[in-house]
Amino acid sequence: MPGPGAEALATAPLYERFYAVVAQVPCGRVVTYGQVARWAGYPGYARQVGYALFRLQGTGTAIPWQRVINAQGQVSYSPHRQGYDDLQVALLRAEGVVFDAAGRIDLDQYGWHP
DNA sequence: AAGGTGACCCTAT
DNA sequence: CATAGGGCCACCT
């Protein structure tokens, strides 16, 4: 049974496709918004990845949204995140990810390259 | 229906 | 290395 597979996935909203990519990032590793967009088949849609993740706030989702950071290796701060940005740092630290004095993560070390 | 917005990114100073 | 400006595109008034 194909179930709600191929067809539903093809028409799935953009954000569902991004979630599918983020779900594959292993614990203790990080990826950038741009990478998620490209791996989902939508190069140039980095901003939409951010919006997709923004939608997850307060949903108690199992998707490891904390593993997505910006191309500069930093957690993206915004007042609209209502503290979820600080939570992101805490969650990453709990996974063993180290931030430097400037709050940056070494992408060469922690970046995920499947 | 048109314009503003943003968990972004790249290039040039 | 830090900042600035332009490009980007789905969502929301």
CA A85 to chain centre: 12
Residue A13 CA distance to nucleotide B8 C1' (Å):
19
- Looking at residue A15, its pLDDT comes to 93
- Looking at residue A13, its pLDDT comes to 84
Would you say the C-beta of A65 is within 7 Å of strand B?
Answer: yes
Pairing of strands A68-69, A31-32: parallel
- Looking at residue A52, its pLDDT comes to 97
Q: What is the pLDDT of residues A30-75, one digit of tens each?
A: 999 999 999 999 999 999 999 999 999 999 999 999 999 999 999 9
- Looking at residue A10, its pLDDT comes to 52
Q: Which domains does chain A have, with CATH numbers?
A: 6-110 (1.10.10.10)
Residue A8 CA distance to nucleotide B5 C1' (Å):
30
